[in-house]
Chains A and B, each alone.
Chain A
Amino acid sequence: MTVHRLATSVALLLAALAYFVPAVAGGSPVAYAACTTIAILAVMSYGADLILSYLGEVSLGHTIFWAAGGYAAALLSVNAGWSGLPTAAAAVVVAIVLAVALGLATLRTREFVFSLVTYAAAVVAMEIAFNWSFLGGSDGIVGIPPLTIAVGSWRLSASGNDQLWPIAWVVLMATLLFIHRFRHSRLGTSALMVQMNPDLATALGIDARKVRLGVFVASAPISALAGWLYAYQRAYVGPDMFETYFLVLMLTAIVIVGRRLLLGPLIGTALIIVQQTFFSIGGDGDKIVLGSVLAAILLLWPRGLVGLWTVLASRPRVHGR
């Protein structure tokens, strides 16, 4: 109990400290932009993380939910004048509907067929976004108003990155809390069991398909909320939200530190965005860096940097023997 209390206090303290990171990092617009972007993209990655870490499958379709969140925010705020909370709710609903449909369609697929079908779905979604004038076609939707959140008489309107940061922070913390809860939930533990030992899971009466669908549907709103915030940050959405960049970023962020770690995707995203913001070697060069990191990690230390750490840490003991 006291250990639990201590852990909770430490977590809360860390969360509070995280809030001040951009201010401590100089408080410049660049610092706020980087931190907000890290928070948004990390949340996007957490959606895919649920699938990769807990189902052991590679979803190549999470850009759909990410874009769905963005398009929901853009359409409803620009055309209907909705404020932030209703657009967020709409983003979540749209993502869940899409995830149920895609989840049912892919229910019987595994491994690369699952990956390719989810990818194919993303290609279809992009083609639709690109061609359908309702979604702005190839030009996308411009002129998204500042993010306003109204609760009762309290109102908040955020336009720049420094104003969006508190909201990004809240979304990130809520996501972390959700993932933490998920890891200890029935669904989370069942998912792990289905991944590690499907026969045992079946013997224990776990319905693998239900679990897969459940995790898939739970993961979609996370990426969608990230897309929702991204739309406000850029004041624009377009078919570029389907780009492979986001896909590769999600996967790299997840594997770089190590799968099934609560803070893994956040730290991974931070490393990538810091490289691309402060140590960029040009767009194409950054692609080479991101792709190489992804491949190298899995080939050299399949368990991520944490695995590398264990290797290094255990070395002296081996020599000592």
Chain B
Amino acid sequence: MTIDLEATGLSVRYGGNVAVDGVDLAVPTGRMVGMVGANGAGKSTLINALAGWSRGTPVVRGTVRLGGASMDGLSPHRRAAQGLVLVPEGKGIFSELTVMENLALVRPPADTTGRHLFSMEEIHELFPRLAERRHHKGGMLSGGERQMVAVSRALRAAPRVLLLDEPSAGLAPRLVYELLETMRKLVDRGLSLLLVEQNVRATLELVDELYLLERGKVVARGPAAAMKNDPRILEAYLGSLTA
């Protein structure tokens, strides 16, 4: 099993506040890795640091490797160009641009070895609604439609590893499953995916492997089947199941 994305000893500070503390993480090729944790656990900080991106001014330590190549010191647009594609939490598309323009901003790479190129037809197949909305401005879309555009543009960038930070935030429960199942299908076609999610139950159903983050540290990790019975997960997230 080859590793597509690997982080070792990753730490992130905001001023004196340590948000991520010495995390080791690996996303194997063609696997779906989930990450869960309480609000403020550092999930977004971590996934942003993998992409070398932030809206704040964090200090990042540790190494990130994509397909064996070091990403350290590379600016986010360079990492995106190499196939490390992040859909951030919250605002992920431009509201002044139409759906088409948002999608056309990314240019598929010339060299697609090890990457997963999605044509516009495939994207419209995944999200039929976007075809109807293609001339609408981003600001006029519903929250769910925005997430679809955000994910679609990431797919248009031909990711090697896709990083999704709460793609289902604000979606209706049925849509959450739909979106995550779509993601699972892509992984089954060979994409490597790191998914940050609040919905632990849905995540456990679909991922191959799960990390539990607490106060910036990985406190548990393992195959999804095993994590289902991990006492910390049971207690904190699936409590109602055993009660």
Direct contact of A and B (CB under 8 A): no
Interface residues of B (CB under 8 A from A): none
